Amino acid sequence: MKHFSLLPVLLSACLLAGCTIIEPIETGDLDIQTETVTMTSAATTATTAKVTTTKKTTTVTTTAVTTTTKADPPADLLLKGLDTVEAGAYLTLENFITDRNVELKDASAMLDTSKIGSFEVEVPYLYDGTEFTQTLQYQVADTTKPYIINPGINSYHKVGKEFDLNDYIGYADNFDSSPQLTCDGEVDPDTVGEYPLGITVTDSSGNAYWWEITVNVVEELPKSADTIPRVDFSDFITRYDGEDVRFGIDVSTWQGDVDYNAVRDAGCSFVIIRLGYCYDEPKLDNTFRQNIKNAAAAGLDVGVYYYTTDHSEEDVREHVRWIAEQLDGQKLDLPIVFDWEEFSHFQKYGMSIRDLNDVYAAFADEVTKQGYQPMLYSSKIFLETIWSEKTKKSTPVWLAHYVNETTYEGEYAIWQESAYGRIPGIEGDVDMNIQYLNQEIG
């Protein structure tokens, strides 16, 4: 709001009336007595006005201004970083700096490794309580060979079907989203036989990996015998029971119509339900709504998971918002879980390993914005090879490792110990899980 002064208006009125203007006295503390001022009108008779001025006290405050000279950097400064860092690596300033005798102001700040070449970084630091900044130079280079996820050493192809080598192998690169595949040898998909191939995958920096496979073109694809023993949920509890643990299952449309009261009575405390899946666009699991309603009614703690092939940050954020729409504000006891498993043919999605980690970071960020807790699901081998330490430390982890004793050394809040459990209330197999209550989730 604007404030207007009346002084100019009063001055103009006085001048027009032939008034005598009394200049204001600039002073500090003054006692001014009452005085009489005679004002003569130009048109009529004299008029006498009495002006009373009261005591006014003015306080003058003096502020001292101190001028400081910028301190020089310490003469004995030791602040040295790596000469070369790997392209696409998640590297903090703490890990980038190799030698120092000062305190880093923001040790967790990330170094930019998104491009190859020579770069500079401003490193703020503290020395004897004073802040300084030092410029360090570094080189970003890609020296890592592509990673072969699925070598396809001994592959079988049905005769008469079109052959695509990408259907039988899987590979990725730490930095390059589209490494090049070359093949020595040919496969005749219309003729039964064995076809040896030499395969090379080369990234944009010239790093290459070579290996050999055999493609068997056959009349009928071999079928593996199911010799995996099933485990009763009661035996599962007995084996792993202890302090700070509880037991649960995860379900989808494959488990059919679940009797959650029977599941609860068998010793199950929680269930993680597939909300939906995405190949080209997100779709709701056919049994999601009845699963979440009936599980909650039985008193089980509930979380959801989303099986996806999302390969862009924009898409995964959009799909998280879709997930939130399906939940419609419903409270969850456990997180919303990101389930990305298409590693056997990873190259089809046009991502680098760094890209996939960034997709998960976008998922986790958007889930948090929607008011829920994100969680990463993955098997031991991919937690060790695909998912970065930064990613694994950012949110709780749900480990899949189908062994009696896991050898995974990272942190995890839930362990999916078996995909071949049996529990009352479900016909057929179900995944069995252990939650560690000393790990905060939900």
Averages of pLDDT over runs of 10 residues in the chain (442 residues) are 37 36 36 36 38 44 50 90 95 95 94 95 94 96 97 97 97 97 98 98 98 98 93 98 96 97 98 96 97 98 98 97 97 98 96 97 98 98 97 97 97 98 98 95 74
Q: What are phi and psi of 311, to 5 degrees?
A: -135, 25
Which run of H or of E encompasses 156? strand 154-158
Q: Residue written as tokens 């005085």?
A: 35
Tokens of 50: 């009495």
Q: What is the pLDDT of residue 142?
A: 97
Indicate the CATH number of 147-218 among 3.40.570.10, 3.50.50.60, 2.30.40.10, 2.60.40.10: 2.60.40.10
Q: What is the pLDDT of residue 72?
A: 85
Q: What is the pLDDT of residue 70?
A: 65
How far is Cα of residue 369 from the mean position of the Cα atoms in its chain? 11
Bridge-based pairing of strands 414-422 and 231-232 is parallel
Spatial CA neighbour of 365 closest among 425, 403, 433, 313: 313
Give dist(CA 355, CA 317) in Å, integer. 14
Q: What is the pLDDT of residue 69?
A: 55
Q: What is the CATH number of domain 231-436?
A: 3.20.20.80
Q: Give me the count of residues in the chain.
A: 442
Q: What is the CATH number of domain 79-141?
A: 2.60.40
- Mention every residue, 6+ apart, whose C-beta is less than 8 A from residue 114: 88
Strand partners for 38: 48
Name the residue ranges covered by the structural domains of the chain: 79-141, 147-218, 231-436
Give dist(CA 308, CA 44) in Å, integer. 96
- pTM, to two decimals: 0.81
Give dist(CA 49, CA 33) in Å, integer. 15
Give dist(CA 382, CA 384) in Å, integer. 5
Contact criterion met (CB below 8 Å) for 107 and 52 = no
Q: What is the pLDDT of residue 239?
A: 97
